[in-house]
């Protein structure tokens, strides 16, 4: 192989450096441009948040000016009163319904002269006038047909000069059945 050889046996890499071509500097400028862009985007977003906050603050001031504080105080007082009254109303006795039940059981020949009721004692005292003793017996029997009346006591029976019979009776009741609305 001793002849003329035009190609070198080993290749060497030739690096050519051009002046001004610095990759680190270009990369730094790209990072700087991205950072500045992000900064201006965040600055614009911050400005829009502050303007929204200012608008909401103005709306709150207008709302505060339109409030009627005296009416609000009265409404709060009413609300407190209703929280006290609501349990009473929900457990309210319905005497009108109880009287309707009693009225439906009264015999036509019996007239009440007075009625007194005691919810805590769970009793009702009735003073009445009946036509005769048979009517009284029918009256007591009609009261026993109601399951909400637990006991009936005939306290006084007295004949009147008019031929009628005066009576006093006590009706004992279960308040859960007799007085509560169903």
**DSSP symbol at 17:** P
Residue 50, pLDDT > 70, answer yes
Residue 33, pLDDT > 90, answer yes
pLDDT band at 20 (very low <50, low <70, confident <90, very high): low
Greater confidence (2 vs 28) lies with 28
| Angle, CA of 92, 94 and 98, to the nearest 5° | 150
- Cα 175 to Cα 4: distance, rounded to the nearest angstrom: 131
- Cα 111 to Cα 109: distance, rounded to the nearest angstrom: 7
CB atoms within 10 A of CB 181: 8
């Amino acid at each position: 192989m001793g002849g003329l050889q035009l190609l070198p046996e080993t290749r060497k890499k030739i690096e050519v450096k051009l002046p001004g071509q610095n990759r680190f500097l270009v990369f730094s400028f790209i990072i700087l441009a991205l950072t500045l862009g992000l900064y201006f985007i965040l600055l614009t977003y911050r400005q829009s948040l502050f303007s929204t906050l200012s608008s909401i603050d103005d709306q709150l001031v207008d709302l505060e000016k339109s409030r009627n504080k005296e009416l609000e105080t009265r409404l709060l007082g009413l609300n407190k009163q209703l929280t006290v009254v609501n349990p009473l109303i929900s457990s309210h006795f319905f005497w009108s319904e109880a009287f309707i039940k009693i009225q439906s059981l009264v015999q036509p020949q019996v007239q009440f002269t007075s009625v007194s009721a005691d919810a805590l004692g769970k009793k009702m005292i009735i003073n009445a006038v009946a036509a005769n003793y048979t009517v009284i017996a029918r009256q007591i029997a009609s009261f026993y047909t109601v399951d909400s009346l637990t006991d009936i006591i005939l306290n006084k029976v007295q004949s009147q000069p008019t031929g009628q019979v005066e009576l006093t009776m006590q009706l004992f009741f279960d308040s859960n059945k007799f007085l509560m609305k169903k």
